[in-house]
Amino acid sequence: MPPNTTASTGQQPGKSGRKKGRRARLLVLVLVLAVVAGVAGGAYWSISTVRASFPQTEGSLTLKGLSGRVEVKRDDYGIPQIYASSDEDLFMAQGYVQAQDRFWEMDVRRHMTSGRLSEMFGKSQVDNDEFLRTLGWDRVAKEEYDKTLSASTKKYLQAYAKGVNAYLDGKEGKDISLEYAALGFTNDYKPAQWTPVDSVSWLKAMAWDLRGNMQDEIDRALMTSRLGPKQIQDLYPQYPYSRNRTIVQSGRYDDVTKTFEQSGSSSAAGSSTGTGTAGTASSSGTSGLQSQLAGLQKVLEDLPTAVGVNGHGIGSNSWVVSGKYTVNGKPLLANDPHLSASLPSVWYQMGLHCRSVSSSCQYDVSGYTFAGMPGVIIGHNQNIAWGMTNSGVDVTDLYLEKLSGDGYQYGDKTVPFNTREETIKVAGGASKKIVIRETQPEKTEDGKTLPGMPLLSDRSSELVKVGRKATVDAAAPDRGDGYAIALRWTALDPGTTMDAVFAMDKAKDWSDFRAAAALFDVPSQNLIYADTEDHIGYTLPGKIPTRAEGYDGSVPAPGWDRKSRWTGYIDEDELPYEYNPSRGYIVTANQAVIDKTRAGYPYTLTTDWGYGARSQRITDLIQSKIDDGGKISTDDMRQMQLDNSSEIAKLLVPKLLKIDISDKDVRHPEAIREAQELLEGWDYTQDADSAAAAYFNAVWRNILKLAFGNKLPKELRVEGQCLWVDPVNTTGPADATEKVRECGQRDTDQAQPDGGDRWFEVVRSLMDDEDSDWWTTPRSGTRPAAANRDELFKRAMIDARWELTAKLGKDMDTWSWGRLHRLFLKNQTLGTEGPGFLQYALNRGPWKLSGGEAAVNASGWNAAGGYGVVWVPSMRMVVNLGNLDKSKWINLTGASGHAYNAHYTDQTDKWAEGELLDWSFSKKAVDGGTSDTLVLEP
């Protein structure tokens, strides 16, 4: 039975071998179904198996290895609060409790991060394992554990592993989860002991999904097959600095800029704009590169995601308001990361409390963590609170490497690859040996060592063939043995992020927090801060590369050019931060960190920020409250998290209402006018029961499809979508004789145009160019052609009317956004395939959701693929620094990973309605909300 992307994502890990493995998977499902249905006397067995895996939450247990008594107190939602008298006991108990609730998830996740999914699920996962072994997450994690992590961090990781293994001791698979019982029908797999490296490896998976602009780098290069530089530039407009505010508006980056201006230094600065330079691989116009990247994209689509959507659509909101603008005079801090919908949720809520904080027991912290990792990732302790959003800084580069014999060209020399052989064990089949090639480590200008780059293209025989046939122009080396794609990524260098987690958990003030953040090297995140002394702040940590002039990381680079290599990393004291800004609040929602156009910051952090639709809306909501003289409450913060306003609707609806539908070329114009009238008086909010929101989003989807989607290369369009197409030509009409039939190749959740705020900006920038060729589309059946903006908008309104008629019916009184915009939660394994009624038993949903793409309430959907929910606010929290017991939180699902446990999805209804749960922190409040207490005895 294949897992989904991980035990936490609800998507399959890959399609490789899907057809070959489907019969075996269905056999397992049928057998499990027989058990669940009680065939052949199986009813008693199934009930006992399900109950056997539920955690013990009351009474007492003896845990060998504890030094003292530990209490685990759970509330009505099964959320655990752990009380201990030493650090080691605290983290050992955390490992035990998380294994109780989520060990199947933890086990699948560690097999994913180490490239060993085939050991559990057979040959269908071999291709995924090959790619993950090539990346080498577990090898880097082991090196990290052995060489870079502190002694105290290792001690905590060991204690956590000891707790997990105490839970596993003496248990068979069926005692751990129902999934193991199902797996046992075709596989004699038995869970192995947990190791500290298993926990560290998860950080690499998290970093992979939050890796920055690698997808944009691929997409831009693929676009060159059908679009020219000007057209690609149209689709990647500049960040609107004058309209959408950056994160940092004062503070350290101004000082850094002054320092560089005074010294006249600019050697570390990369190009700040553009999508390719004379030295880049894209400028050589290689058809081989495009084919290589198309093949790589297919590999990436099949690869398991860890916490996101393989780099597309990943976002988050966080903001903090100082006490001068709050009801209780102390800061309020909100956070809601946007990730793939998963069952169970990727997040795990818990509290870790030392009965008395001292040098031997240093922690009193509560918040969200990941099953399989000790500590708390996002949350608060007794003094400070913090949140995270993805910074999006560019920490990955792809290189086109010129192959030559057994090596690759670097400058005027041929350099041998470093190679290693690995064996992939396959459940029910023969093991497979693979050879992994990497470039040689290199020294940077500042004396640091960059690790070798793995050849991603080695994981596809098709890519190897393409590389051998690659053609390049005179600016690149002769074809020779072909070309390969290699990856440079900061996470392939051992780091200290695990140290950062523990340091943040016990930080007492801004100085402690900044020191902890400096250790948070990968993935680079926007970190916001507040404390009980009424201070607020922001810092950008991370290992962020510097590049030579002319290389900005926006497109694949020529590996043979020495100048294309990274020159070093930005020093920690040269990264932007802000502390107690005079405006009284800080907002981070994946927008640009700094305004280079205003201050000339000397480094290029990325060329692919989010475009600020969410961040500016949050800023406007906060500023409006301040301007009205009101004070912001915890519930005001919650209401801001639920804001459904559509920024693109505000731009387009006034134009759409002016479109004349009475054209003789329009069939049934009265039906189109009826739909158009839904937009009159609409306040642009995307509530689940809104018919106007349903119609507008359908119009928006069709505008994108007609103006852009149908003109993109097949590698970016939805798989199976076949069109007669010709390239867009913004300087004149396209030649109809050039039309060819092309079918899309990308998964629906990954295709373009996805409709996010980059596309808001694309359309905004073209609005005044009413005769742009982007606004043209041919006639289709009875649907009219378009030769300008308003004609294309009219066509989109027509197409949307009939699309929704087909989906929702003729009667518009029954239309609603929630009927289109639905969330399904799938059980991580048994719920992804097989007989429908088994999926019905294990999966949950649908929920009809409000919100939408690039709204603050970011229930994301991909406009190229449909209206279904793709990513969500995976949790929501509001921390009240004036009274921590008045803080609020919610998770997408529940604490439990056991499909029939009461806490499997017991928070989801409230989450969907925008409600938050009480978040007890003090001993008194926790005791007052405790339903079950388990005592762990040494």
Residue 800 CA to residue 820 CA, distance in Å, equals 13
Is 521 in contact with 529 (CB distance < 8 Å)?
Answer: no
How many residues are listed for the chain in this entry? 938
- Residue 807 makes CB contacts below 8 A (sequence gap 6+) with 819, 820
Could you give the C-alpha distances from 384 to 171, 196, 537, 634, in angstroms and in order? 40, 28, 11, 17
**Position 100, amino acid:** Q
In eight-state DSSP terms, residue 351 is: E
Q: Which residues pair with 917 in a beta bridge?
A: 889
Could you give the C-alpha distances from 56 to 52, 428, 642, 738, in angstroms and in order? 10, 34, 36, 68
Residue 771 CA to residue 337 CA, distance in Å, equals 40
**For the CA atoms of 246, 252, 253, 256, what is the dihedral angle to 10 degrees?**
180
User: Residue range 528-551: average pLDDT?
Assistant: 95
Residue 861 CA to residue 754 CA, distance in Å, equals 8
Q: What is the pTM of this model?
A: 0.90
Is 426 in a helix, a strand, or coil? coil
Token pair of 181 as six digits: 């019982």
Q: Which of 487-491, 600-604, 758-762 has the lowest mean pLDDT?
A: 600-604
Residue with tokens 């944009």: 216
Residue 713 CA to residue 728 CA, distance in Å, equals 10
In eight-state DSSP terms, residue 288 is: H
Phi, psi dihedrals of residue 564, rounded to the nearest 5°: -80, -15
Confidence at residue 840, expressed as pLDDT on a 0 to 100 scale = 67
Residue 375 CA to residue 377 CA, distance in Å, equals 7
Residue 283 CA to residue 725 CA, distance in Å, equals 24
Residue 766 CA to residue 728 CA, distance in Å, equals 15
Structure confidence at residue 327 as a pLDDT band (50, 70, 90): very high
Helices (H), 572-728: 596-599, 613-627, 634-641, 647-657, 669-676, 691-707
Nearest 5°: the CA angle 677, 680, 681 is 150
**Position 682, amino acid:** W
Residue 545, classified by CB atoms within 10 Å of its CB into exposed (0-12), middle (13-18) or buried (19+), is buried
Query: Over 70: is that where the pLDDT of 833 sits?
Result: no
Contacts 24+ apart (CB under 8 A), 928-931: 929/75, 929/76, 930/73, 930/74, 930/75, 930/81, 931/74, 931/75, 931/76
Q: Kindly state the percentage of the chain with pLDDT values over 70.
A: 83
pLDDT, tens digit, for every residue of 347-396? 999 999 999 999 999 999 999 999 999 999 999 999 999 999 999 999 99
CA atoms within 13 A of residue 159's CA, in its CB half-sphere: 19
Is 570 in contact with 603 (CB distance < 8 Å)?
Answer: yes
Residue 71 CA to residue 101 CA, distance in Å, equals 16
Residue 672 CA to residue 741 CA, distance in Å, equals 30
Burial 255-287 (b: 16+ CB within 10 A, else e): ebbeebeeeeeeebbbbbeebbbebbbbbbebe
Query: Over 50: is that where the pLDDT of 264 sits?
Result: no
pLDDT, tens digit, for every residue of 699-742? 999 999 999 999 999 999 999 889 887 655 544 444 545 677 88
Token pair of 53 as six digits: 């895996």
CA-nearest of 846, 907, 836 to 875 is 907
Query: Over 70: is that where the pLDDT of 554 sits?
Result: yes
Residue 484 CA to residue 459 CA, distance in Å, equals 11
Token pair of 550 as six digits: 């002319």
Phi, psi dihedrals of residue 386, rounded to the nearest 5°: -150, 155
**Position 448, amino acid:** K
CA-nearest of 637, 651, 743 to 696 is 651
Residue 342 CA to residue 354 CA, distance in Å, equals 31
**Position 467, amino acid:** G
pLDDT, tens digit, for every residue of 864-894? 999 999 999 999 999 999 999 999 999 999 9
Confidence at residue 157, expressed as pLDDT on a 0 to 100 scale = 98
Query: Over 90: is that where the pLDDT of 159 sits?
Result: yes
Confidence at residue 188, expressed as pLDDT on a 0 to 100 scale = 85
Is 308 in a helix, a strand, or coil? coil
pLDDT: is 587 or 266 the higher one?
587
**Position 693, amino acid:** A
pLDDT, tens digit, for every residue of 395-444? 999 898 998 888 999 999 999 999 999 999 999 999 999 999 999 999 88
Q: Kindly state the percentage of the chain with pLDDT values over 90.
A: 68
Determine how many CB atoms are found less than 10 A away from the CB of residue 378.
23
Residue 90 CA to residue 375 CA, distance in Å, equals 9
Confidence at residue 35, expressed as pLDDT on a 0 to 100 scale = 45
Residue with tokens 């707790």: 163
- Residue 650 makes CB contacts below 8 A (sequence gap 6+) with 684
pLDDT: is 308 or 184 the higher one?
184
Token pair of 235 as six digits: 């689709």
Structure confidence at residue 915 as a pLDDT band (50, 70, 90): very high
Query: Over 90: is that where the pLDDT of 924 sits?
Result: yes
Residue with tokens 């926790």: 926
Structure confidence at residue 777 as a pLDDT band (50, 70, 90): very high
Confidence at residue 725, expressed as pLDDT on a 0 to 100 scale = 73
Longest dimension (CA), the chain: 84
Is 741 in a helix, a strand, or coil? strand
CA 645 to chain centroid:
22
Structure confidence at residue 459 as a pLDDT band (50, 70, 90): confident
Confidence at residue 37, expressed as pLDDT on a 0 to 100 scale = 44
Is 427 in contact with 119 (CB distance < 8 Å)?
Answer: yes
Residue with tokens 């867009």: 728
Q: Where are the beta strands (DSSP E) in 271-417?
A: 315-321, 332-340, 348-354, 364-369, 378-381, 384-390, 396-404, 407-410, 413-416
**Position 125, amino acid:** Q
Is 562 in contact with 548 (CB distance < 8 Å)?
Answer: no
Query: Over 90: is that where the pLDDT of 848 sits?
Result: yes
Q: Which residues pair with 780 in a beta bridge?
A: 783
Determine how many CB atoms are found less than 10 A away from the CB of residue 861.
27
Is 138 in contact with 114 (CB distance < 8 Å)?
Answer: yes
User: Residue range 532-554: average pLDDT?
Assistant: 94
Confidence at residue 289, expressed as pLDDT on a 0 to 100 scale = 67
Token pair of 846 as six digits: 């649908």
